[in-house]
Amino acid sequence: MPKEIWLTILWDEMSISMSSYTIARMELEEMVDNYNYQGQLDLFTYVPKEIVRQWLWDVYAREPHDIIVEKTIW
């Protein structure tokens, strides 16, 4: 499992509103547990983008337009 994953979150289609977010190992474990993810784990993000998108929706109470994985630290 990665130590952390660095993301850039685009909140709108125009890419005007964006945020940086780091997902720590503890949050990754929580994602897998909370969303009962049983499928194939993704090689680059560990969990599929749809799970990350749901996590961000739950954290920020708004849905991202797109998520860019900048770096995965193992």
- DSSP strand pairing (4-10 vs 66-73): antiparallel
Its pTM stands at 0.78
Give me the residue spans of the domains in the chain.
4-73
d(CA 18, CA 27): 21
Tens digit of each residue's pLDDT, the chain (74 residues): 889 999 999 999 887 899 999 999 999 888 878 877 776 666 556 778 888 899 899 999 999 999 999 998 98
